[in-house]
C-alpha cells in the first residue's frame, strides 16, 4: 500500500487505464501500457 494508502486506489486506477486501453488500442489488455500498470498495481498492493 505504501504512501498511497489503500490498495483500492490502484484497483480503481488499473480499471480506468485498462478501459482506456481497450477503447484506444485494438489489442486491449495485450498492450504494454496495461502490462506495466498491472505489474505496478501488484507491487503497490503488496
Average pLDDT, the chain: 55
Q: Which three cell numbers stand for residue 15?
A: 480499471
Instruction: Summarize pLDDT for 15-27 with one digit per residue, the tens.
Output: 777 777 666 654 4
Which DSSP category does 2 fall into?
G
Asked if 14 contacts 41 with a C-beta cutoff of 8 angstroms, the reply is yes
Q: Are 18 and 34 in contact (CB under 8 A)?
A: yes
Q: Which helix (H) or strand (E) holds 22?
A: helix 8-24
Residue 12 pLDDT grade (very low, low, confident, very high; cuts 50, 70, 90):
low
Q: Is the pTM of this model over 0.75?
A: no
Amino acid at each position: 500500500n505504501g504512501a498511497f494508502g489503500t490498495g483500492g486506489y490502484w484497483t480503481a486506477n488499473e480499471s480506468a487505464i485498462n478501459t482506456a486501453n481497450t477503447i484506444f488500442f485494438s489489442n486491449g489488455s495485450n498492450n504494454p501500457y496495461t502490462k506495466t500498470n498491472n505489474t505496478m498495481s501488484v507491487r503497490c498492493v503488496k
